[in-house]
Amino acid sequence: MQENKYNTIVIVGQQFGDEGKGKIVDILAEESYMVVRFAGGPNAGHTLVVNGKKTVLRLIPSGILHKNTVCVMAQGMVIDPFVLRDELHALDEAGISYRGRLFISDAAHLIMPYHIQEDKDREASTSNPIGTTKKGIGPTYEDKVARRGIRLGDLRNLEKALNVADQTNINHYKALLGSREALNVYLTVARDIIVPFLADTSTLINDAVRAKKNVLFEGAQGTLLDIDHGTYPYVTSSSAVAGGACIGSGVGPTRINKVIGITKAYSTRVGEGPFETEFAGDIAHRIREAGNEYGSVTKRPRRVGWLDLPALKYAAQVNGLDGLAVTKLDTLSHAKMKRFWVRSEFDACGGKLNQPDLKLVDGWEEDLSQAKTLKDLPENTRRYLQMIEDEVGVPVVMVSVGADRAQTIPVGNIWSN
Characterize the bridge pairing of strands 408-410 and 396-400. antiparallel
Q: Restricting to residues 241-270, which ones interact with ligand IMP according to CB under 6 A?
A: 270
What residue is closest to ligand IMP based on CB? Answer: 271
17 sits near ligand IMP (criterion: CB under 6 A): yes
**Least gap, CB of 130 to ligand IMP (angstroms):** 5
Task: Write down the catalytic residue from 46, 66, 109, 115.
Answer: 46
**Least gap, CB of 192 to ligand IMP (angstroms):** 26
Amino acid 356 reads P
Q: Which among 35, 39, 31, 33 is positioned nearest to 13, based on CA atoms?
A: 39
Q: Restricting to residues 190-229, which ones interact with ligand IMP according to CB under 6 A?
A: 220-221, 225
Return the SS3 of 23. Answer: helix
Q: Which among 19, 48, 4 is positioned nearest to 311, based on CA atoms?
A: 19
If the CB atoms of residues 109 and 213 are measured against ligand IMP, the closer one turns out to be: 109
Total number of residues that touch ligand IMP (CB under 6 A): 21
Q: Restricting to residues 291-350, which ones interact with ligand IMP according to CB under 6 A?
A: none
CB 8 within 8 A of CB 217: yes
Beta pairing partners, 40? 77
| 105 phi/psi in degrees, rounded to 5 | -70, 135
If the CB atoms of residues 18 and 357 are measured against ligand IMP, the closer one turns out to be: 18
131 sits near ligand IMP (criterion: CB under 6 A): yes
If the CB atoms of residues 302 and 359 are measured against ligand IMP, the closer one turns out to be: 302
Q: What own/partner pairs with CB < 8 Å and gap ≥ 24 does 228-235 have? A: 229/318, 231/273, 231/274, 233/130, 234/130, 234/131, 234/271, 234/272, 234/273, 234/274, 235/130, 235/273
**Least gap, CB of 403 to ligand IMP (angstroms):** 17
121 is catalytic: no
46 is catalytic: yes
- Measured CA to CA, the distance from residue 382 to residue 367 in angstroms comes to 14
If the CB atoms of residues 134 and 343 are measured against ligand IMP, the closer one turns out to be: 134
- Judged by the rule CB under 6 A, the positions of this chain that interact with ligand IMP are 16-18, 43-45, 130-133, 135, 137-138, 220-221, 225, 234, 236-237, 270-271
Please list the active-site residues: 18, 46
